[in-house]
A and B are shown apart, each in its own frame.
Chain A
Amino acid sequence: DGGITQSPKYLFRKEGQNVTLSCEQNLNHDAMYWYRQDPGQGLRLIYYSQIVNDFQKGDIAEGYSVSREKKESFPLTVTSAQKNPTAFYLCASSIGVYQETQYFGPGTRLLVL
């Protein structure tokens, strides 16, 4: 089955800790994205990547970092600089970046202890 997987489903972060959210796709898509969703709100773009070893900041990149070493994988690290990390994080992918349909993974809910 082709799709996008995200792990873990729930993640707890302690004060001052960096945590990494995993996103993997087997759709052979070139582009991948990370969005953040806060309660009662729409999604906001954190980072996106059009191709391996390249990525760009979205609207709310501060306190986050990403890497794209493989086409299938686009992990997101929430650093200690992100002061309000509690949110639902969604990863998406698309064939290309030019207004193609984005398909989403099941999401990771990050909570701060």
Chain B
Amino acid sequence: AQKVTQAQTEISVVEKEDVTLDCVYETRDTTYYLFWYKQPPSGELVFLIRRNSFDEQNEISGRYSWNFQKSTSSFNFTITASQVVDSAVYFCALSPYNQGGKLIFGQGTELSVKP
């Protein structure tokens, strides 16, 4: 079975705190891609990152960083020094090999950053 689990349904932090959103995936494919999307209250999904299964290097983009660990099938997302504008629902997604580009989404984690 192919599945994405985001165990944290809701997280609440105070501005400037660091926060990590967990993502665990299941797949038997050796070639796959992982994604993170942000869904602000407006509803549109905003693309954040795409990572292939052969690239385990961590990535940093401004206050955002991603930790991909194939050994534990995890692709966690950290926001450093969170801001109120980071409040949104964040989705982790898996794109299996040779399935027409299908994305398998986790349930999402709702992040609330309070001033």
A residues near B (Cβ < 8 Å) are 31, 33, 35, 40-45, 48, 50, 56, 58, 88, 90, 92, 94, 96-107, 109
Contact = CB atoms under 8 A, between A and B. Distances in A.
B98 to A, nearest CB: 8
Given A97-B100, A99-B97, A42 B47 contact: no
A51 B106 CA distance: 27
B107 to A, nearest CB: 5
Given A41-B108, A48-B101, A99 B95 contact: yes
B45 interface: yes
B42 interface: yes
A33 B93 CA distance: 15
B105 A43 contact: yes
Interface residues of B, number: 27
Of B35, B43, B105, B107, chain A has the most CB atoms within 10 Å of the CB of B43
B44 A98 contact: no
Given A42-B91, A42-B108, A103 B47 contact: yes
Nearest to A48: B100
B64 interface: no
Nearest to A45: B102
B47 A101 contact: yes
Nearest to B103: A102
A90 B101 contact: no
A107 B40 CA distance: 12
Contacts of B42: 106
Given A99-B32, A99-B95, A90 B45 contact: yes
Contacts of B107: 40-42
Contacts of B32: 99
Nearest to A98: B101
